[in-house]
Structure 1
Amino acid sequence: MSRLKNQKYHLIGSHSAVKKCLWVHNALTQGRFCYKCKFYGIESHRCVQFTPATLWCWNACLHCWRVRPQDLGLSDKDLMRLPSVDDPEVIADLAIEEHRRTVSGYRNVAPKNMWEEAMDPKHVAISLTGEPTLYPRLSELIQVFHKKGLTTFLVTRGIRPEVLASLEEEPTQLYVSLETWNKEMYDFFNRPLISKGWEKTLETLELLPSFSSPTVLRITLIKEFNMSDKDVKGFARLIDKASPTYVEPKAYMHVGGSTGRLSRDSMPSMNEVLDFAEKLAAETGYRIASYSVPSRVVLLTKLEGPIIRYGKGCPNAWRTEEIGDEFSGEYGQPESF
């Protein structure tokens, strides 16, 4: 746990955590927002980056840049279930409290109205680290956040479709993260701790059309691994199966713990991400609606306009032009895009 604290995780109860996102800082000090503002209307300074399962995950993905439990010497057996289950109301209250703690020091730095807004968060990204569907009371937690006036983005690897199918209340938006499109690739790259991880992932994709809330397939792109024309066709088949509202091809970033497993050459440029996205659009019938250079991500959809219902949004929503920040990115200063 000391390693997590050194990386500025704010630990909550026995299994949850909050961490201030770099884009919270950028929004408060520079007026620059994360791509989720441009794509979906999320105001970065009002977004809580949170997880209810800090160290628990059923995958050991090679590209993971967070603190992986395997890196801390925990065994697979330790990761199968949470050691205890904290109350969702308590977790939600503490998550909001810790977010406020992380932004309280900006009072004399940020514009007054933005600081006041940051102290009153309106969105929670259930995505910080770990696999959130391992928290047994996830459905209740989503309900609690919604009752408190926060929207929710739930990000999952899709390894527990039964949990998603049993949600009594859907998240505001559901993300499923993918890097692979067949079992062989999945077993090699995503390193599941259970025997039918890929089959579970396919079950999740088949479940997505039943959701009334928007769904997203995020495809993390790794050079020399999943960006060939064959890969385009493979991912297109999964998109056809899942019929997501959005698809986000996004570059792997060579940061954190992943630097010991993948090389810097594995990180595609923005132009390479765009090229892949164009091929995927042609294969699926989706269109490129927008992109963000700092985060090296492209938005594909069949919608004609954005669903800006999560916040005030950004002035350049769904426009491809950047706002003068092409060379300052989410993960620092890459040499080139």
Structure 2
Amino acid sequence: MDLSDWGISPSVMAKVTDYAVELWHEHRIPIILSTLFVLSIIRFYLHYTEEPHRLQVLPKLYKEKSQDDQKIVKSQTVEEKPVKQSSESSEDEKSTKKKAGPRRIKGDITKKPRAGADATREARKIQVLVFYTCLTGSTEKIAKQFAQSVEDSLKEKETRSTYLTPKVLDLAEIDYDEYFITPPKNEGEPIDYFYLLLLPSYNIDSINDNFLEHLQETHHDFRIDTSPLSPILGYSVFGFGDREGWPTEEEGFCFQAKEVDKWMAKLSARKRAYPLGMGDWKTDGKERMAEWQTGLLEVLQHIEETGGLGEGVPGSGNPIESDDEEIDDDDGEVVFEEGSESKATKQKSSSSIEDVEDLGRIMASSRADGATSKKSSAPIAVDFTTEGKPKKKTASAPAVVKEMVPKNSPTYNSLTKQGYAIVGSHSGVKICRWTKSALRGRGSCYKYSFYGINSHQCMETTPSLSCSNKCVFCWRHGTNPVGTSWRWVVDPPDLIFNGVKENHYKKIKMMRGVPGVRAERFAEAMRIRHCALSLVGEPIFYPYINEFLGMLHKERISSFLVCNAQHPDQLATLQHVTQLYVSIDASNKESLRRIDRPLHRDFWERFQKCLEILRERRFRQRTVFRLTLVKGFNLEDEAEGYADLVEKGLPCFVEIKGVTYCGTSTSSSAGLTMSNVPFYPEVQDFVVALEKALLKRGLNYGIAAEHAHSCCILLADKERFFVKGKWHTIIDYEKFFELLEKKGPDGDFSPEDYMGPETPEWATWGRGGFDPRDQRVDRKGKPIVEVT
């Protein structure tokens, strides 16, 4: 049709068309969205108003023995009549509904036992295999006696017949492929295996060499899984040696047993159930093996009860490899935390502590990094002393006493993440890095050199995580609360005592799979003999500290209590402790304010009063001044000031220690860096200067001992502890407990009454203070060779 018939000229139509196109391009998006919206509304309306379609179901025309299947479907449609009566039709309707949907598995369905460690205990047995090597026949006899002893002990413990009779196997007669590529196959009832190996070490070609070669080849064979023995429940090795031929482990004592332990760890996916035991044929072999057997029986009983080795720290499978122990300088060592670092750097150094010999390298890198990096502000410590304006109290709203460290608090999470076990609401325990080191024969802390404490038998704990100082070198900024008075819930001392012991033993047990742990020291570690109340916070702050000390002493656990000289009232009422420490971090008021940053306004008066109390106590308790040296704060030109404080307090001993480097996170706002860490020669120079300053004042103190690895030196009262030309800084712990039981916690006896034998020659001044029984290692676990 021609547009002119309608009276519309082509020019007008063109204009209308152009306008419509322009309008569409301008508003096309709102139009499209509006259309989609309207269509969606219509679709939903039709969907919800439409009558639901019912599926037609054919009735069952067969019967089954199952009681649930003796029912038929109610109807084919709504109009159809039921085939059965109403009582059955309701059940049939339920059955139909069940059939219509996906099948559900209920929790009460009986499952078949799995073939593995998680199978039911009734369906699985445990077979202990005792392997041995022998040239003369003596090991075979020992192995058979050992297997019989294990069997008898398991029967006494009533293990519900889970354990089969142990089998004794000679490595010279078995096929290695049947036992050391995969665990033995059993066609009958499923059996789990536990391997024990008794191996003497020989310096001639023997079956041990063939066995070790097989273990190495198995591990390196690309056709075999790297951990083919991982299905076994666990393993442990005991080695026999002869100290006459090989006096030390470095010279070959039990060297083949150590190699077998290493390769078994690799092949079994680190299932070392108990540390490597070692004994001398001619001296302590029976005693060491009895200790090893006792520990093994506890492990076997644990496996029987739980089905596995339980919680533990996996070993690396390589005894010479360092496990990069975390920073645990909670044994009284003061640690500061370095400033801002990149995340990668922090992760790399967060779990290592540097030796004194490494400080030069670290210091150089610190200076290089410090030139380009800015200091970051530290997290603010939780201060409970500032509460703002006091609120009006009403009878209906009494004050609520809060917990110091609630379980749902960031403080709790932070401390537990660092490895603390929180006991109750305000106490804690943590395994010290020196405990780990001593268990592995890598050296004990300075307390062993100075006072005869076995580090692997020492528990590090505190009944109060709160402190009244915010020291610049404290390694727990922002993680432990601070306060000037106790304002929290008070836990009973028995709860704390039992809790810290339980958690300490748990942490010790977690070390049994760590490579290099010595079985005899592990056995000794399961009996706490010493307690260092210096973990974190202020132990003397706890209101029932005397009751807690009484529980320690009742079990003959020595007490080494450290306080910060800010609580004279509590110090005055303190009963006997084995050794009483007071931290002396500065020689004058301004320096103390700058270093300790105390919360008390009268901090200097409190400090002076505590020194007076120690002076009065010096003939009733072993008192110690603890000096922590920080370059730039209290090291330079303060020897004279420290000498004045020693003259006022007259302690039995003065410990001088350099601050220990810790590169885990940010430091306090004091801006400490590696340049604040004194080198050991600098600490030595300070001690010599302090000794001269004391002699100038007529105080007869001398340098008694040192521990270079801890950068720590001991001064002692020469008139009291230098007897017949020998220093006697060691404590006679048995004598201390005898005096305590005889004269009571407030009894009148002096430090000389429980003075022990002379200080070991290797611990005296000029000899380093490292226990010759142990082996120093570097960060990679390699032995450090002393250069003379």
Change (3 A) 1:317 1:137: farther
C-alpha distance in structure 2 between counterparts of 1:73 and 1:110, whole Å: 32
Aligned to 2:613: 207
Q: Which of 435, 440, 445 is residue 29 of structure 1 equivalent to?
A: 440
| Aligned-partner Cα distance in 2 for 1:218–1:27 | 23
1:50 paired with 2:461, answer yes
Which of 297, 302, 310 does residue 712 from structure 2 map onto?
A: 297
Which one of the candidate residues 37, 41, 44 is aligned to 2:452? Answer: 41
Q: Give 2:142's aligned residue.
A: none
TM-superposed deviation, 1:125: 0.4
CA shift digits 1:171-213 (9 cap, x unpaired): 1100011211111111122111111111111111111122212
* 1:65-89 Cα distance to aligned partner (Å, 9 max, x none): 1x23xx2596x6x663251111112
Q: 1:153 aligns with which of 533, 555, 560?
A: 560
Residue from 298, 319, 323 that aligns with 2:764: 319
Q: Structure 1 pair 280/257, CA: closer, same or farther in 2 (3 Å)?
A: farther
1:3 corresponds to: 414
SS at match of 1:106: coil
CA distances 1:27-80 after superposition (whole Å, capped 9, x unpaired):
0012511110000011000000001111x1111110111x23xx2596x6x663
Deviation per CA, 1:268-301, whole angstroms, max 9, x where unpaired? 0110001000111111131111111111010001
Partner of 2:547: 140
- Give the Cα separation in 2 of the matches to 1:43 and 1:133: 24
**1:191–1:258: structure 2 CA closer, same or farther, 3 Å change rule?**
farther
Corresponding pairs, count: 321
Identity %: 34
Q: Quick one: distance in 2 between partners of 1:91 and 1:136?
A: 13
In the TM superposition, residue 259 of structure 1 has moved relative to its aligned partner by 3.5
Question: SS of the counterpart of 2:448?
Answer: helix
Q: Secondary structure at the match of 1:237?
A: helix
CA distance in 1 between partners of 2:546 and 2:606 (Å): 19
Given that 1:219 and 1:250 are in contact with CA atoms closer than 8 Å, whether structure 2 keeps it comes out as yes
Whichever residue aligns with residue 496 of structure 2, its letter is I
- Looking at structure 1, the residues matched to 564 and 502 of structure 2 have their Cα atoms a distance apart, in angstroms, of 28
Deviation of the 1:146 alpha carbon: 0.5
Letter in 2 for 1:137: Y
Cα deviation for residue 90 of structure 1 reads 1.8
State the AA in 2 paired with 1:53: S
In 2, are the aligned partners of 1:57 and 1:80 still within 8 Å (CA)? Answer: no
1:119 to 497, 513, 526: 526
Deviation digits for residues 228-270 of structure 1 (CA, Å, limit 9, x no counterpart):
23x1000000000111110011001232567344111000011
User: Which residue in the other structure is 2:291 paired with?
Assistant: none
Contact 1:122–1:150 (CA<8 Å) still a contact in 2?
yes
Query: Which residue of structure 2 aligns with residue 246 of structure 1?
Result: 653
Q: Which residue of 1 aligns with 2:729?
A: 306
Mapped to 1, the partners of 2:544 and 2:520 lie a distance apart of 35
Alignment correspondent of 1:266: 676
SS of the aligned residue for 2:460 comes to strand
Q: 2:569 aligns with which of 162, 165, 186?
A: 162
- The one-letter amino acid paired with 1:215 is T
Residue 111 of structure 2: aligned partner: none
Rate the CA distance shift 1:257–1:80 in 2: closer, same or farther, 3 A.
farther
Correspondence for 1:288: 703
Match of 2:510 among 87, 101, 105: 105
Instruction: Point out the more displaced range, 206-215 or 234-243.
Output: 206-215
Q: Judge conservation of contact 1:82–1:135 (CA < 8 Å) in 2.
A: no
Larger deviation: 248-257 or 282-291?
A: 248-257
Separation in structure 2 between the aligned mates of residue 30 and residue 73 of structure 1, nearest angstrom: 32
Alignment of 1:175-214 (within 5 A): 175-211=581-617, 212-214=620-622
Do the aligned partners of 1:158 and 1:177 also contact (CA within 8 Å) in 2? yes
Say whether the 8 Å CA contact 1:50–1:126 is kept in structure 2: yes
State TM-score, norm by structure 2: 0.39
The separation in 2 between residues aligned to 1:99 and 1:316, in whole angstroms, is 32
Task: Verify the 8 A CA contact 1:290 1:298 in the aligned structure 2.
Answer: yes
Q: Tell me the alpha carbon deviations over residues 67-122 of structure 1, each in whole angstroms, 9 at most, x when there is no partner.
A: 23xx2596x6x663251111112211111111111111333553332112101001
Deviation at 1:308, TM superposition (A): 2.6
* 1:189–1:31 CA distance, 2 compared to 1 (3 A): closer
User: Which consecutive residues of structure 1, in runs of 5 or more, have no partner in the other structure?
Assistant: 330-337
Quote the Cα distance in structure 1 between the aligned partners of 2:512 and 2:480.
40
Given the alignment of the two structures, is residue 171 of structure 1 paired with residue 577 of structure 2, yes or no? yes
Does the 8 A contact of 1:208 with 1:244 survive in 2? yes
CA distance in 1 between counterparts of 2:525 and 2:500 reads 13
**What residue in structure 2 maps to residue 221 of structure 1?**
629
CA 1:238–1:15: 2 relative to 1, 3 Å: same
Provide the C-alpha distance between the structure 1 equivalents of 2:647 and 2:776, rounded to a whole number of angstroms: 32
Equivalence for 2:161: none
Alpha-carbon distance in 1 for matches of 2:571, 2:480:
30
Give the drift of 1:315. Answer: 5.3
- AA in 2 matched with 1:298: I
Within 2, Cα distance between the matches of 1:174 and 1:181?
A: 20
Q: 1:73 & 1:150 partners in 2: Cα distance?
A: 26
Q: Distance in 2 between matches of 1:73 and 1:318?
A: 35
Deviations 1:154-181 (A, max 9, x none): 00101001111112x2211000112111
Q: Which has the higher contact order (CA 8 A, sep 6+)?
A: 1
Tell me, in whole angstroms, the C-alpha distance in 2 between the residues paired with 1:73 and 1:59.
Answer: 11
Letter in 2 for 1:197: F
Q: Which amino acid aligns with 1:36?
A: K
1:327 and 1:116 map into 2 onto residues whose CA distance is 23
- Structure 1: distance between partners of 2:666 and 2:561: 23
Residue of structure 2 equivalent to 1:90? 495
TM-score (normalizing by structure 1): 0.89
Q: Contact (CA 8 Å) 1:47, 1:124: kept in 2 or not?
A: yes
User: Paired residue for 2:469?
Assistant: 59
Distance 1:259 1:125 in 2: 25
Secondary structure of 2:517's counterpart equals: coil
* Matching residue's letter, 1:273: V
The CA distance in 2 between the partners of 1:238 and 1:90, in whole Å, is: 38
Q: Secondary structure at the match of 1:301?
A: strand
Structure 2 CA distance for aligned equivalents of residues 182 and 5 of structure 1: 36
Distance 2:778 2:584 in 1: 26
